[in-house]
Amino acid sequence: MTYERGNIAAMQGYTWGEQPQDDRTIKLNTNENPYPASPHVQRALAAFTIDSLRRYPEPTAKKLREALAKLHDLSPEHFIVTNGGDEALRLALTTYVDPGATFSMAVPSYSLYGVLADIQDAKLHTVPLHADWSMPENIGAQLNSANSRLACLVNPHAPSGTLTSPPTYSRIAKQMNGVLLVDEAYIDFVDPKRGHDSTDLVRELDNVLLLRTFSKGYGLAGLRLGYLIGHPDLIAPMMWKTRDSYNINHLSQILGLAAIEDQGYARSTWERVRSERGRVQAVFENLGFPSPPSESNFILVQSTRVAARDLYTGLKEHGVLVRYFDSAGLNDKLRITIGTPEENDRLISAFKQLI
Ligand SMILES: Cc1ncc(COP(=O)(O)O)c(C=O)c1O
C-alpha cells in the first residue's frame, strides 16, 4: 500500500553530486566556487546575534531585493529571492505549468528540471542539442508545437559551459506562447570582455525569467540563496502566492546582502577562476583531451582514448572527485569544476598518472 500520488511513486528523485568522505579529497564535481565568500560575509556572520532569530524573517527579503535592483538597474518588483536556484525552478514549474501540461528542456542539461516536471506531473518535452551544444534554429517553433507552458534553457550551458548570446533567447521568447526561463546559474564566470548582458531580455519581454544564484559566483552554495529576475507581472504570482511564506531565512538575507555588496571581491574570484579555466583547459587539450570553449566554472573534457568512467574512478582513487554522467552523448566525457591553482595541479598530476 502506498500513499504517494501515482506520479510521485513512478518518478526517480534527483541524484546529488557525491560528497567527499575525507578531508583530503578535492571536490571538483559540483561546480562550487573554489574561493570562500567575501570577508564582508564573514564579518556579517560574526556580528550576527541569535536573538534576531526569535522573530520570523522579513517575508519578502526586501533589502536583498532592493540591493539586487540596484545591482541590475531594475526595480525590486523585478525580483524574487529563493531558497537556492532550485527553489526558483520549482516555483516557476508549479506556477506556470498545469499538471498534465507541457514543460520543455533542452537535452542534455540540468537533470533537476526533469525531476521537477515529474513532481508537477507535467509532460516532459525534450529538445536535443546539436553536437556543438547549440540549439536547433527552429527551437521556438518546436516549443510552441509541443504547447510548452514553460521551457528551461541553461546559459552558459551545463554541462558543456558554452555560451549563447542574448539575441537568440530574445528570438525564442518572442516566438514562444509560454514562459522562457533562462537558467544563468553560471553567468558570473563569463568573460566580461564578451560584454554579455541578458537583463535587457526582462526589460523588453514579459515572458522571460532569468535565474541567478549565490551558490556559484558568490561562494555560498551552503547558504541556499538564488533569485529570479522577470517582468513584475511574471514575478508577482510566485512572490505573493506560490512561494513558502518565509522562504528566505533571516541569516541568509543578511549574508546574501553582505555578499552582493562586495562586488569587487566576488569579481576577483571570477577572474581567478577564468584564468585557471584557460590554463586547465589548455593542459587537457595538449594531453589529447579537448573540451568545448567554456564560459563557466567547469569544463567538459572528452576522452576518446580511455573510457571516461575509468578516468572518473581512477581520479577518485587519487582523491579527486569529478562528474561522470552515464548517459548517451556524455558517457565519453568528464565534467570538471575549476578549482584553486593547487587543486587543479593535483587534478592534472593525477590525470597524467592515469593516462
Ligand atoms: C544549471 C544549474 N541551474 C541551477 C542550479 C541550482 O543551484 P542552487 O540551487 O545551488 O542555486 C544548478 C546547481 O548546480 C545548476 O547546475
Can you tell me the distance from the alpha carbon of 220 to that of 255, in angstroms, rounded to the nearest whole number? 9
* Within this chain, domains 6-37+264-354 and 39-262 share the same CATH topology: no
Question: How far is the centre of ligand 1, averaged over its atoms, from the C-alpha of 185 (Å)?
Answer: 6
Can you tell me the distance from the alpha carbon of 90 to that of 113, in angstroms, rounded to the nearest whole number? 9
Q: Is the CB of 184 under 6 A from ligand 1?
A: no
| Residue 2: per-residue pLDDT | 86
Q: Could you tell me the pTM of the whole model?
A: 0.97
Q: What is the pLDDT of residues 116-147, one digit of tens each?
A: 999 999 999 999 999 999 999 999 999 999 99
In the chain, what are the domain boundaries?
Answer: 6-37+264-354, 39-262
CA proximity to 343, closest of 16, 18, 17, 35? 35
Backbone angles phi, psi at 212, to 5 degrees: -125, 160
Question: How far is the centre of ligand 1, averaged over its atoms, from the C-alpha of 84 (Å)?
Answer: 7
Question: How far is the centre of ligand 1, averaged over its atoms, from the C-alpha of 215 (Å)?
Answer: 7
Q: Is the CB of 61 under 6 A from ligand 1?
A: no
| Residue 54: per-residue pLDDT | 98
| Residue 131: burial class (beta carbons within 10 Å; 0-12, 13-18, 19+) | exposed
| Residue 305: per-residue pLDDT | 87
| Residue 321: per-residue pLDDT | 97
| Residue 292: per-residue pLDDT | 97
Helix H, strand E, coil C: the string for the chain is CCCCCHHHHHCCCCCCCCCCCCCCCEECCCCCCCCCCCHHHHHHHHCCCHHHHCCCCCCCCHHHHHHHHHHHCCCHHHEEEECHHHHHHHHHHHHHCCCCCEEEEEECCCCHHHHHHHHCCCEEEEEECCCCCCCCCCHHHHHHHCCEEEEEEECCCCCCCCCCCHHHHHHHHHHCCCEEEEECCCHHHCCHHHCCCCCHHHHHCCCEEEEEECCCCCCCCCCCCEEEEECHHHHHHHHHHHCCCCCCCHHHHHHHHHHHHCHHHHHHHHHHHHHHHHHHHHHHHHCCCCCCCCCCCEEEEECCCCCHHHHHHHHHHCCEECECCCCCCCCCEEEEECCCHHHHHHHHHHHHHHC
CA proximity to 34, closest of 295, 297, 291? 297
Q: Is the CB of 215 under 6 A from ligand 1?
A: yes
Can you tell me the distance from the alpha carbon of 148 to that of 111, in angstroms, rounded to the nearest whole number? 18
- Average pLDDT for the chain: 97
Can you tell me the distance from the alpha carbon of 172 to that of 203, in angstroms, rounded to the nearest whole number? 16
| Residue 1: per-residue pLDDT | 77
Q: Is the CB of 252 under 6 A from ligand 1?
A: no
CA proximity to 33, closest of 303, 249, 253, 338? 338
**Residue whose CA is closest, atom 1 of ligand 1?**
110
Question: How far is the centre of ligand 1, averaged over its atoms, from the C-alpha of 355 (Å)?
Answer: 31
CATH of 6-37+264-354, one of 1.20.1110.10, 3.30.230.70, 3.90.1150.10, 1.10.10.10: 3.90.1150.10
Task: Say if residues 151 and 97 touch (Cβ distance below 8 Å).
Answer: no
Q: What is the pLDDT of residues 289-318, one digit of tens each?
A: 999 999 999 999 999 989 999 999 999 999
Q: What is the pLDDT of residues 14-24, one digit of tens each?
A: 998 889 888 89
Cis, bond preceding 156 (omega within 30 deg of 0): yes
C-alpha angle 116-121-124 in degrees, rounded to nearest 5: 70
Q: Which atom of ligand 1 is nearest to the CA of 226?
A: 11
Distance (Å) of CA 316 to CA 19, 319, 342, 349 = 12, 5, 17, 13
Distance of alpha carbon 302 from its chain centroid, rounded? 22
pLDDT band at 235 (very low <50, low <70, confident <90, very high): very high
Domain 39-262: give its CATH code.
Answer: 3.40.640.10
CA proximity to 35, closest of 305, 254, 307, 271? 271
Q: What is the pLDDT of residues 171-183, one digit of tens each?
A: 999 999 999 999 9
Q: What is the pLDDT of residues 25-70, one digit of tens each?
A: 999 999 999 999 999 999 999 999 999 999 999 999 999 999 999 9
Q: Is the CB of 158 under 6 A from ligand 1?
A: yes
